[in-house]
Amino acid sequence: MKKFINHVDSLLDESLRGFAKAHADLVEVNPEPCFIKRKQPGNAGKVAVISGGGSGHEPLHSGYVGRGMLDAACPGQIFTSPGPDQMLAAAQAVENGGGVLFIVKNYAGDVMNFEMAAEMLECPVETVLVQDDISLPKEHDIGRRGVAGTLMVEKIVGAAAEEGADLAALKALGDRVAERTATFGVALSGCNVPALGGPTFTLPADKVELGVGIHGEHGRELMDFSSATEIVKRMGEAIEDELPLSKGQPVLLHVNGLGATTLMELYLVYELAYDFWKQHGLDIRRSLVGNYTTALDMAGCSISLTLLEDELTRLWDAPVHTPGLRWGC
Amino acid sequence: MKKFINHVDSLLDESLRGFAKAHADLVEVNPEPCFIKRKQPGNAGKVAVISGGGSGHEPLHSGYVGRGMLDAACPGQIFTSPGPDQMLAAAQAVENGGGVLFIVKNYAGDVMNFEMAAEMLECPVETVLVQDDISLPKEHDIGRRGVAGTLMVEKIVGAAAEEGADLAALKALGDRVAERTATFGVALSGCNVPALGGPTFTLPADKVELGVGIHGEHGRELMDFSSATEIVKRMGEAIEDELPLSKGQPVLLHVNGLGATTLMELYLVYELAYDFWKQHGLDIRRSLVGNYTTALDMAGCSISLTLLEDELTRLWDAPVHTPGLRWGC
């Protein structure tokens, strides 16, 4: 497998060193245990907002460390949970008198390790669990996966934390955004994992995986490849079955590329999704189109909808200054 | 070929409609003849800065329309020059009393059509030709190609235009940035062109194309795939042969993804390139890492170096607010 790497074992480390140099004005990387923290800490008493998870989804989460979003992020090896020592060290480094909020995508290893870190910390800790991937049934035995909707939780909670909201308020806000967000992904190909030396799965030339996860987990069904319009319709219908949608509902529409899909296609998907939701009477107030939560080099995309209300829209618009998301400053 | 498209013929149009909706605060798309213009025009007397070229390189150029960069962009079909009617209409729409500056990547069709448009325009027009791809010899019969370095020309010239520089000054500035910029690209795979129904070229599993262009044009040689360090060394040596580098020279280092290469790899390449140039005594003052000038879904990347001086650094840092590049506002 041809990739710009030297050795599988040093990939994350070498990549993070480049990341730290390229964004030396915004972030610092602590090598051991490994975490990324923002260079300019928030005000005293600010709640420390921390996320993390396996690598391979960049810019999530490392790219969202900075003012108005995360105080720290803990990267695991590719598609592998970071350890509790990383989360503990990150929390100790950025806790600033306001306690710690963990934002955790719902994967068994991540959940367990963040729980262990929470138990070891001596300051107040709350956790927001993100389970926005609606491709699995709600009653799935390990719950639903956290995918591209994690960005909306991190952005909105991060903005409120910057404004001085306390830990209980941030926990409630994070839960509210997570509940109001649904994502559905589609793969046109698997992704190549360096440690495997090849793809996670292979799709037949005429098939599309509906409901794929960001590690290449199987979704609901293999669908015959037809047209972008048909695929987007199926994605929209799946989301429609989940969220309490009513005419005039303001929403944020996020089309996320999984890695190898061109921006031309992502904007085309956005156009079709926009039409789909307009026909359902939704008020598309905010948009985000691009590669924000990737699955290495997978060809595919996801559509996320977050139900907005004035306060959530205001927090979405609030200034953010991170390597991967920046506006208002 | 599985792609998020409906028909090859409607791909650009559907994609641009989505682009216009997703960035309705920043840009407007004129459908026929097709061009993108910024929503809030600059001050009266501001020189109109316009670029364009075949699609498939997004966010270049459409994503760089907005305050502090381009006033308009003309997209052709994928890898196909836009027509002079598009350039003429774009120029007439955004010309604001200061004349027009065309920024043109050096491809025969683009050059010819921008020249035709310049002849038809009744206002003063100047053209900056970008030929930053140093993989071809300087004396190549059609000159060198314009690739990822185009962004630096558009950003720096766009900032000066916003500040009120006149047409002659912008032409001189654009030429200066273009001369001081060198790019070298490497492909790990070809890219899939929808109209072809497949890849532009296929590389053997153990080979890398050194000096590839952004349409998959052949470069200098097929190199055995070895390590990221070896590939980056070869890229650096090629650039070193071209630019007048001296110890302490301040530079902008841009690592650009060609489409399907992960951010983890791009940051790793940045780390290696940073080391390479540090060993040569350069002062790496500014960085840009990500997918800025793509070649559809090609796996690969390019390294660009721009020789900075105080004025160029100041203009690079000046506020920019476009769909694809944003800071300072």
Please give the average per-residue pLDDT across B92-112, as a whole number. 98
Find residue B286's DSSP bridge partners. Answer: B252
Asked whether the beta carbons of B282 and B251 are under 8 A apart, the reply is yes
Given A208, A259, A284, which is nearest B262 (Cβ)? A259
Q: Is the dihedral of CA B133, B134, B136, B138 positive or negative?
A: positive
pLDDT at A250: 98
Please report the residues numbered 5 through 24 in chain B whose beta carbons come closer than 8 angstroms to any beta carbon of chain A: 5-6, 11-12, 14-19, 21-23
Give me the CATH code for the B181-307 domain, please: 3.30.1180.20
Q: Report the run of H or E that residue A20 belongs to, with start and end.
A: helix A11-22
pLDDT higher than 90, residue B1? no
Strand, coil or helix: A55: strand
Average pLDDT, chain A: 97
Strand, coil or helix: A264: helix
Given B259, B265, B274, which is nearest A4 (Cβ)? B265
pLDDT band at A85 (very low <50, low <70, confident <90, very high): very high
Report the gap between the CA of A280 and the closest CA in chain B (Å): 17
Pick the residue from chain B with its C-alpha nearest to A224: B2
Please give the average per-residue pLDDT across B211-229, as a whole number. 93
Given A14, A63, A267, which is nearest B18 (Cβ)? A267
Give me the CATH code for the B8-180 domain, please: 3.40.50.10440
pLDDT band at A278 (very low <50, low <70, confident <90, very high): very high
CA A292 to CA A255: how far, in whole Å?
9
ipTM: 0.98
Which ranges constitute the DSSP H helices of chain B?
11-22, 84-94, 108-120, 150-162, 167-179, 228-240, 263-279, 310-317
Paired tokens of A312:
């959530």
What percentage of chain B has pLDDT greater than the value 70? 100
pLDDT at A62: 98
Domain coordinates in residue numbering, chain A: 8-180, 181-307
User: Which residue from B27, B19, B93, B23 is spatially nearest to B65, judged by alpha carbons?
Assistant: B27
Please give the average per-residue pLDDT across A41-66, as a whole number. 97
Q: Supply the DSSP string of B39-70, one letter for each residue.
A: SS---TTPPEEEEEEEESSTTTTGGGBSBTSB
Find residue A30's DSSP bridge partners. Answer: A35
CA B187 to CA B222: how far, in whole Å?
10
Find residue A70's DSSP bridge partners. Answer: A65
Pick the residue from chain B with its C-alpha nearest to A22: B287
Average pLDDT, chain B: 97
pLDDT at B310: 98
Select the residue from B255, B263, B317 to test the A interface by mutation, using most A Cβ atoms within 10 A: B263
pLDDT higher than 90, residue A329? no
Given A12, A189, A271, which is nearest B17 (Cβ)? A271
pLDDT at B58: 98
Find residue A209's DSSP bridge partners. Answer: A187, A222
Asked whether the beta carbons of A55 and A76 are under 8 A apart, the reply is yes
> Using the 8-state DSSP alphabet, how is residue B298 labeled?
B
pLDDT at B218: 86
pLDDT at A219: 85
pLDDT band at B278 (very low <50, low <70, confident <90, very high): very high
Which ranges constitute the DSSP H helices of A77-200?
84-94, 108-120, 150-162, 167-179
What are the tens digits of pLDDT across the range B163-199? 999 999 999 999 999 999 999 999 999 999 999 998 9
Please give the average per-residue pLDDT across A18-42, as a whole number. 97
B142 touches chain A (CB under 8 A): no
Q: Report the run of H or E that residue A232 belongs to, with start and end.
A: helix A228-240
pLDDT at A142: 84
pLDDT at B329: 79
Please give the average per-residue pLDDT across B65-92, as a whole number. 98
Select the residue from A267, A316, A322 to test the B interface by mutation, using most B Cβ atoms within 10 A: A267
What are the tens digits of pLDDT across the range A180-232? 999 999 999 999 999 999 898 999 999 999 999 999 998 889 999 999 999 99
Find residue A181's DSSP bridge partners. Answer: A306
Residues of chain B with C-beta less than 8 angstroms from the C-beta of A5: 227-228, 265, 268
What are the tens digits of pLDDT across the range A113-170? 999 999 999 999 999 999 999 998 888 888 899 999 999 999 999 999 999 999 999 9
